[in-house]
Amino acid sequence: MRLQNKVSIITGAGAGIGFSTAVRFAEEGSKLVLVDIDGTHAESAVQAAKKAGAEAVSVAADISKEADARKIAETAELHFGGIDILVNNAANFTTFAVEDATPEHWQTVLGVNVIGTALVAKHAIPSMKKRGRGSIVNLGSMSGIIAQAHMATYNSSKAAIHSMTRCMALDLAPFNIRVNTIAPGCVLTSATEREWIRLGMTREEWITDRAALHMMKRIGDPVEVANAILFLASDEASFITAAHLLVDGGYTGQ
């Protein structure tokens, strides 16, 4: 097992990529602290992880609040004695063009995607330093690399995560803590369901439209991203830090 006895925190674990990552980590032997803003969803992920054979606890938390970010790390310390891996997956999908975005829209998306990511890492890092090792995987996006219509708020936040990852990797390398980014393409999740509803499209129309934009002519499954996260989190990626791994079906390679 690739994560045997490793303690992992996964934010946004209640659905989509986070849920699939929780199950994959459970299958690979990790002990899990599963976080979601919706406590019921977090507990559902815990039950799935336990079914896969893992020890797991849930935390209901809004990562944009420092007290909640601190609570996540404290829960890992209390239940499992430390932290080895952090997957910063939680995200807000507020999408507006610059001319349409209010200060509140910007504060919402940046509060979760950038500040929240930083706060959870801030409180997890001391435990990793004490253990003399660690792996942080931040969820960026192909949207942080390319331009997309009416998505300036979200895309800007993901571009910031890519830059923050490199800075974190440089700061933490002396402590044997690796920091990398996963950048997914279009993946079928509850967030993408909200997108096709917002655009007035059917599920089938959205899938057909988005699939055509990828080299592989399909969209991704959450477990395909979870497998990439697992690789970067594991010791198999022991000489990889400050990297951005695209899991986008070739979207950005065209």
Q: Among all residues, which ones are annotated catalytic?
A: 154
Is residue 120 a contact partner of residue 86, using CB atoms and an 8 Å limit? yes
Is residue 2 a contact partner of residue 230, using CB atoms and an 8 Å limit? yes
Residue 216 CB neighbours (<10 A): 12
Is residue 181 a contact partner of residue 161, using CB atoms and an 8 Å limit? yes
| Radius of gyration for the alpha carbons in the chain, expressed in angstroms and rounded | 17
3-state secondary structure 204-234: HHHHHHHHCCCCCCCCECHHHHHHHHHHHHC
Segment (H or E) for 81: none
What does the alpha-carbon distance between residue 163 and residue 3 come to, in Å, rounded to a whole number?
A: 27
Backbone angles phi, psi at 162, to 5 degrees: -60, -45
- Evaluated on CA atoms 35, 37, 43, 49, the torsion sign reads negative
